[in-house]
Amino acid sequence: MQDLRDTIDGTSSDELILEETAIRSPDLLTAPLRSTMFRLGWPVFVEQFLSFLVGFTDTYLSGWISKEATTAVGLAAYVGWLASNMFLLVSSGTVAVIARHWGAGEFEDANKAANRALALGAVVGLSVYGLIWFAAPWYAWLMKLDPDTATMVVRFLRIDGAGYLFSCLTVAGAAALRGTGQMRVPMVILVIVNLFNMLVTTLLSGVGPSEWLLLSERFGLPKWGVDGIAIGTVTARIVGSMLILVVLSRGQYQIKLLPQEVKLSGEPVRRILKIGLPAGFDGILRWIGQLFFLMIIARLSDDPFEQTAILAAHAIGMQIEALSFLPACAWGMAAATLVGQSLGAKLPDRARLGGHEAVLQCGLFAVVLTLVFFFAASPIYQQMHQDQQVHTVGVPAFRFNALFQVPLVVAIVYTFALQGAGETRQPMFVSLIGAFGVRIPLAYLCGIVLHGGLIGAWVGMCCDNAVRAILVMWLFRRGRWLSIK
């Protein structure tokens, strides 16, 4: 790359700092592919693992309260997934656009796109919270919850949802940094946030082993039960948004916050939305499919006590399966960055090989998790809940689900790689086929019609993951995404 200082006459000091920083940044386009992919992936994996521990801690603490509390936390996790999918509208477009600019050496354009992404993130975060607030009672009604559980779920969702007003800024800022190849800074921020989250939720819930209770009592903190879990999460999300904004305002990590550029106008917004809208719609489609899937889960038994155990077992299973999502999302984000920058630098072969390398590295981890999930299903459920009925329902279903971890990982990583190239429309159609053509019909048939219970419903989920993996792998190998501008 030629010295930019020969071509930046009239450039502002902020822009000069950005360009000089970019010159000093590690070159993702020439280093060995395998080590580059690992270097991009591991910081995201660390932050994803800490995010998993947050959800794990919430589910674990709820198990000390009641089955109803576990149901509330589990259903809130699905709402959190909806929020994450809606944030794809900002994050996927931001990574793709900034990575293209960065690979082409267009650093000023990359910074403008980052600032526009923050404005988009704020709008999306406000919209998500409004949706959660008004839809919470309807959501509880669809799940056929008894009145006490429904009241708990609605209150939990409304408290927890307030955090999305702030986490949207964290998501947008982290996506901007990742588009430049800077993975470690978002990692450090989110590690701090997640550790803080676990500490505060543990202290405010007032439940758990006796050692934890002594710590809470020593500080004279209230015991808010399941509400404490939600309040702790909101507090941590506020901290995260403050940290990302401080980092961006200093401008020492390639991207700088410029208040005059934080607006919803211009070519950067159009490009982000062109890529992000199909990705966001894709996520919403998948969530709607999950909503119908949850409605099936909520109707697997006519016995209210057994049904509550089924919902709790399902929530625990999905929380533990997040261990597969962690490396998949981490290496998927790494693939998106490398694919986008490679295409911006006119290196299509490196873009293609980068996607395949991400799947290979992550797939090996999925094989290990398959074995762990299958053989450790019983002790996992014993540790996660005090109710034996939850164990009886959950263990066989979880062992069956363990066999489909590799397809799950393949589907996620290739989808991220396609999004990094700006291809978000075709994965959207894949989600439509998987959710409404496979998951829901098979879950209803095997779970309700054939009385297969939780394992029957999970047949639909697992087949959906397998079909999705085959289709997105075919889309990536076909290579039409290489011609997207």
Res 221 pLDDT > 80: no
Token readout for 169 is: 């800024």
Q: How far is CA 142 from the centre of its chain?
A: 24
Q: How many CB atoms lie within 10 A of CB 272?
A: 27
State yes or no: pLDDT of 20 exceeds 50.
Answer: no
Contact criterion met (CB below 8 Å) for 186 and 47: yes
- 274 burial type by CB count under 10 A (0-12 exposed, 13-18 middle, 19+ buried): middle
Rounded CA-CA distance 277/294 in Å is: 25
Residue 105 gets the label, from left (phi > 0), alpha (psi -120 to 50) or beta, of: left
Distance, in Å, from the CA atom of 171 to the CA atom of 164, rounded to the nearest integer, reads 10
Question: Given this model, what pLDDT does residue 5 score?
Answer: 32
pLDDT in tens, 54-73: 777 777 777 777 777 777 78
Report residue 156 as tokens. Answer: 């939990």
The b/e string for 165-192 (b: 16+ C-beta within 10 A; e otherwise) is bbbbbbbbbbbbbbbbbbbebbbebbbb
The amino acid at residue 229 is I
Cβ proximity of 298 and 315 under 8 Å? no
pLDDT of residue 65: 76
Residues 193 and 198: their CA atoms lie apart, in Å, by: 9
What is the C-alpha separation between 68 and 56, in angstroms, rounded? 17
Give the rounded distance of the alpha carbon of 88 from its chain centre: 9
Tokens of 17: 């700092």
Q: Which residue has the tokens 């499919």?
A: 289
H helical segments located in 345-479: 348-375, 377-384, 388-402, 405-420, 425-433, 440-443, 453-478
CA distance 45 to 39: 11
Q: Tokens 């209770």 — which residue?
A: 213
Query: Which pair of structure tokens corresponds to residue 259?
Result: 């208040």
Cα 419–chain centre separation: 14
Query: Residue 15: is its pLDDT beyond 60?
Result: no
Residue 339 is predicted with a pLDDT of 93
What is the distance between the alpha carbons of residues 383 and 185, in angstroms, rounded to a whole number? 34
CA distance 185 to 183: 6
Higher pLDDT, 206 or 470: 470
Which pLDDT tens digit goes with each residue over 92-132? 889 999 999 998 888 999 999 999 999 999 999 999 899 88
pLDDT band at 19, cuts 50/70/90?
very low
Higher confidence at residue 21 or residue 420?
Answer: 420
- In this structure, what token pair is assigned to residue 168? 């949207």
**Contact, 402 vs 410, CB < 8 A?**
no
Instruction: DSSP for 118-140, please give it.
Output: HHHHHHHHHHHHHHHHHHHHHHH
